[in-house]
Structure 1
Amino acid sequence: MIQNQKANAGQNLPYIAGITLIATLGGLLFGYDTAVISGAEKSVQAFLITGQGLSTWVHGVTISSALIGCIIGGAISGVFSSRFGRKKSLIIAAVLFFISALGSGYPEFLFFEEGKATMGLLYMFNFYRIIGGIGVGLASAVCPVYIGEIAPANLRGRLVSLNQFAIIFGMLVVYFVNWGIAKGQTSEWLNNIGWRYMFLSEAIPAGLFGILLFFVPETPRYFSMVNRDQEALRILTKLNGPSTAQHILADIKNTVEHHSGKLFSYGKTVIIIGILLSVFQQFVGINVALYYAPRIFESMGAGKDASMLQTVVMGVVNVLFTVLAIVTVDKWGRKPLLMVGSVGMAVGMFAISGLAYYEIIGVSTLVFIIIYTASFMMSWGPICWVLIAEIFPNKIRGKAVAVAVAAQWAANYFISATYPSMMEFSGAFTYGFYGLMSVLSLLFVWKMVPETKGRTLEEMEALWEGNPAVANEPMAARRV
């Protein structure tokens, strides 16, 4: 224990915190881009879809179109992060966020008459949303990997969880922005102009993110993978102190050189677990609550301004429970939080399903929505990203994370695009399905997911190779 305390004493905490905060701006933009549509979706429907007599299915596809880009961004993230590095991949994501913000707010640019809805304009709007989605897909994969590869093992859970906090904080910020834009305005103004301001507002954090990225280093694990060991050692020394840096670099080199780096070098189980973590995170239905929150609250009887305000309240609750996850993830572990969250989500969704079946709409519905989202934010929201950043061995991390994130966005797209049609069929069935997925997620974590608390990233190689000493005891404890 004394040895571990001495090693930790060499950590440059202000430097680590500064790098992490800049990297988490990618998470903030992830959340911002994801939730900005919640305030604009009814106006987009009125401006681009209803006027042309298009179907509910087209509405669902348009609102979810950014997710197509997210799938692409997630799928290419492994190639980008391996070929260009983690830092340059995040810079590319920042540029895509900026282009999408401007284009989504003013899709008529160069080619179309302003204010006149046409099929061509609808296609162009979806194109810009897909561009932003590629940025989200890249950031969602690379940000937790970047933080995970920078962070010391004793801080990694909390620091990677900060990325989820940034995602939820980004959502809260845009809920306030959307509420501020919509407050006191007529529906006609919102349908013609207001929704544009909502999308354009994203250009500010996107520009800031792109500029600040020039002041952070590449990760030492990436430098080691491309045989730039001196640069890796320099960054590790600045992060952890000279004595600890040498040990960490030796561990990194050992794992990087040991395997070919093929996706299934460590077997199929770790890849399947990564994919299922991602799929369950979406199949529990969280993005339905995030994308369609104002519409859900309006269906409960709230007015336009009140529904936006209730969305803000939900955003505040989400932030508070994400903080709970951050302060407990390295104390309680990953599995207990995931299992408790699954139980809470199941309770919330089955209750909402029952209320929908009996057509009971009121405060009780809001309460159970908050129970559901709070349970997600203290568990599957941040912990899924922590595990995706942790469970894969160094040599396959870029490829494996890309597969897991692409699966996550594909699941997200499926759930979000099918929600309007499912609700037309039956609200009780829709929410009951999400409740069932919550129960299945509990069983999956209980049976398949390993506990990674306290383990170094290099240790995961031995874990997946079936080393019983590693499986039962973290490396930090064995070094004492």
Structure 2
Amino acid sequence: MAIAIPFFQQVTGINVIAFYAPILFRTIGLGESASLMSSVVTGIVGTGSTFISMLLVDKLGRRALFIFGGVQMFLSQIMVGGIMASQLGDHGGIGKGYSYVVLILICIYVAGFSWSWGPLGWLVPSEIFPLEIRSAGQSIVVAVSFLFTFIVAQTFLAMLCHFKSGIFFFFGGWVVVMTAFVYYLLPETKNTPIEKMDRVWREIGFWNKFVGEMDEQAKTEDA
């Protein structure tokens, strides 16, 4: 979990928008001033969505926000990729109307990230580790997050040149994988004290066998 959660958080493609939004918006036909303004708008949308996540996270639960946000990001990325593949091509341009549609879809994508994987990618790891290994687990989370932030930032332009509009399908595919990961393997930590996290892990069949083995080993050692 300490490796998978921050890895998935970075391969959503959010850093592509954060680092290269002005370049992306200029590519689809917006002027320089409009591109910068669009970047500001996406930032405001992201901030507002994070605030919404703070209000909903203890009501809906972590898993629900992860899954809803994943579906929202996937659909918006696929639609952006489809529009750019059909309208932009290798050297073409996108009409004004399509440019604003892409802008709206990217804002929807940023909103989906900002109320799911953005804040929860840091919140959930702080809740799932037992107290004995919590500091070590969080250290791994931060290190993996920074490592893949660097890797994505350094490789994106080369990937964009090779994949072109397919870059959105690439990151969309990772969103499918991470959403399935949450659905099948991540326990719900809502209203669960850290001291009782072992009970939460037992509720998921895949992890139950490992937790059960550790419990049996502990009983043997105590005896």
The TM-score with structure 1 as length reference comes to 0.39
**What is the RMSD computed on CA atoms of the aligned residues?**
1.8
Counterparts of 1:284 and 1:359, CA distance in 2: 24
| 2:3 equivalent in structure 1 | 275
Q: Could you say what secondary structure the match of 2:87 adopts?
A: coil
Q: Could you say what secondary structure the match of 1:451 adopts?
A: coil
Counterparts of 1:467 and 1:434, CA distance in 2: 30
- Cα deviations by residue, 1:405-446 (Å, 9 ceiling, x for unpaired): 212222222222111001111222211100101111110000
Superposition deviation, residue 459 in structure 1: 2.0
Counterparts of 1:455 and 1:424, CA distance in 2: 46
Q: Could you say what secondary structure the match of 1:298 adopts?
A: helix
Matches within 5 A, 1:179-194: none
1:316 maps to 2:44 = yes
| 2:217 equivalent in structure 1 | none
Counterparts of 2:186 and 2:17, CA distance in 1: 26
Q: 1:426 to 1:462 in 2, by over 3 A?
A: closer
| 2:18 equivalent in structure 1 | 290
| 1:409 equivalent in structure 2 | 146
State the identity as a percent.
Answer: 33
Q: 1:427 aligns with which of 164, 169, 177?
A: 164
Counterparts of 1:434 and 1:426, CA distance in 2: 11
**Structure 1 alignment gaps of length 5 or more:** 1-272, 472-480
CA contact (8 A) 1:353 1:427 kept: no
CA contact (8 A) 1:322 1:378 kept: yes
Counterparts of 2:27 and 2:190, CA distance in 1: 42
Q: Which amino acid aligns with 1:441?
A: M
Q: Which amino acid aligns with 2:74?
A: A
Q: 2:129 aligns with which of 392, 400, 414?
A: 392
Query: Which structure has the higher relative contact order (CA within 8 Å, separation 6+)?
Result: 2
Matches within 5 A, 1:149-298: 273-298=1-26
Superposition deviation, residue 462 in structure 1: 5.1
1:374 maps to 2:102 = no
1:339 maps to 2:76 = no
Q: Could you say what secondary structure the match of 1:292 adopts?
A: helix
Counterparts of 2:57 and 2:24, CA distance in 1: 31
User: Number of residues paired by the alignment?
Assistant: 196
Superposition deviation, residue 461 in structure 1: 4.7
Q: Which amino acid aligns with 1:417?
A: Q
CA contact (8 A) 2:63 2:183 kept: yes
Q: 2:179 aligns with which of 434, 442, 454?
A: 442
Counterparts of 1:404 and 1:421, CA distance in 2: 26
- Cα deviations by residue, 1:276-331 (Å, 9 ceiling, x for unpaired): 11111111111110011111111122222221111111111111111111100000
Q: 4+ residue stretches of structure 1 with deviation over 4 A? A: 461-464
- For the pair shown, which has the larger CA radius of gyration, 1 or 2? 1
- Cα deviations by residue, 1:176-204 (Å, 9 ceiling, x for unpaired): xxxxxxxxxxxxxxxxxxxxxxxxxxxxx
Q: Which amino acid aligns with 2:149?
A: N
**Structure 2 alignment gaps of length 5 or more:** 89-93, 209-223
Counterparts of 2:100 and 2:31, CA distance in 1: 14
Q: Could you say what secondary structure the match of 2:192 adopts?
A: coil
Counterparts of 1:374 and 1:467, CA distance in 2: 31
| 1:305 equivalent in structure 2 | 33
